[in-house]
A and B are shown apart, each in its own frame.
Chain A
Amino acid sequence: MPPKSIASLRVLSNLRPPPILPSPVMGMLIFVIAEMMMFAGLMSAFSIVKAGALGWPPPGQPRLPVEATAFNTAALLASAVFLFVANSRYARNPDLAKRPLFIAMGLGAFFVAFQGYEWISLIRQGLTLTSSNHGSFFYLIVGMHGLHAMAGLATLGVVALKLSRGRLAPSSFVASQVFWYFVVGLWPVLYFMVYL
């Protein structure tokens, strides 16, 4: 016999087992897998062109700032650590998660700003999108990662806003973390391939 009252529907819905994974987290995981494949394609093309070149970087092209970017990489990795701390604090008391979350966002913003500063100096030195294959791949791969970092920061911004208003769903927080960990975890691979 079908249930007729809202109360009986509520009872039935409570009997349903919880989902294996919340929808926002599942959706984000699938999106991250798709993004990983996109970056794998870019890195493959870069590897083939680099292997075929007689010298890398090509003669006449500026060298990339390896040491400064290593420092920037450390800042990005630290942002992931602070986000992890924010998550563990959120489970105990959501208010305690605010400070590490803002620090993580600040470090992420520093990374993006530093990348922008680096780009300006490289463009001044003559490394542009059309100057060589080196420039094309550098701006394409690093720029694509920078776009993802900005999207991740925007997502964390929304999370911070909801957290301060006390309306943050745990699944949304986890989904934004998945994306940020992807952005952070991908960067050392790109740094190793493009800069070293």
Chain B
Amino acid sequence: MARALFHGVSVIRMKFALVVMISMAIWLVPKLASACAVCFTGRADETRTAFIATTGLLTALPILLIGSLIWWLRRRAHRMRDEHD
């Protein structure tokens, strides 16, 4: 049945249609991307600053937290070893 549906349809036309669809998708996707959730008010500077600040926060925070914990544990271990000796 499925094969019969394609019977008589030109393969070249199918390829052409596919190329057109992909081209349209490539052409339209950037427009969709520019309509993202943070570009709705035109306050680009404030939004950009917030993005940079929060990216910095979310990048630095886990490193800072885990690093602090490891540093504190090492310090505590050294102190305990010194007391034990």
A in complex with B: yes
Is B77 an interface residue, CB under 8 A from the partner? yes
Is B17 an interface residue, CB under 8 A from the partner? no
Say how far A193's CB is from chain B's closest CB, in angstroms.
Answer: 12
Instruction: List residues of B whose CB falls within 8 A of some A CB.
Output: 38, 40-41, 43, 46-47, 49-51, 53-54, 57-58, 61-62, 65-66, 69, 73, 76-77, 80-81, 84
**Most B C-beta atoms less than 10 A away, residue of A17, A29, A40, A54:** A40
Set B38, B49, B54, B73: member contacting A20, Cβ < 8 A: B73
- Supposing A20-B80, A21-B76, A54-B41 touch, asked if A47 and B65 sit within 8 A by C-beta, the answer is no
- Chain A residues with CB below 8 A from B69, complex form: 29-30, 33
Q: What's the dominant secondary structure at chain A's contact region?
A: helix
- Chain B residues with CB below 8 A from A18, complex form: 80
Is A121 an interface residue, CB under 8 A from the partner? no
Cβ-closest 3 pairs across A and B:
A44-B54, A51-B50, A51-B46
Set B47, B61, B76: member contacting A48, Cβ < 8 A: B47
18 contacts between A and B (CB under 8 A): A17-B80, A17-B81, A21-B73, A21-B76, A29-B69, A33-B65, A37-B61, A43-B54, A44-B54, A44-B58, A47-B53, A48-B38, A48-B54, A51-B43, A51-B47, A52-B38, A52-B43, A52-B46
Q: What's the dominant secondary structure at chain B's contact region?
A: helix
- Chain A residues with CB below 8 A from B46, complex form: 51-52
Closest to B81 in A: A17
Rounded to whole angstroms, the CA-CA distance of A43 and B57 in the bound complex is 10
Closest to B54 in A: A44
- Chain B residues with CB below 8 A from A17, complex form: 80-81, 84
Rounded to whole angstroms, the CA-CA distance of A51 and B46 in the bound complex is 5
The reply to whether B66 and A53 form a contact with Cβ atoms under 8 Å apart is no
- Supposing A17-B84, A47-B50, A47-B53 touch, asked if A52 and B73 sit within 8 A by C-beta, the answer is no
Rounded to whole angstroms, the CA-CA distance of A52 and B54 in the bound complex is 14
Residue-wise, chain A 45-57 has the 8 Å CB interface mask toward B (1 for contact) of: 0011011111000
Say how far A161's CB is from chain B's closest CB, in angstroms.
Answer: 30
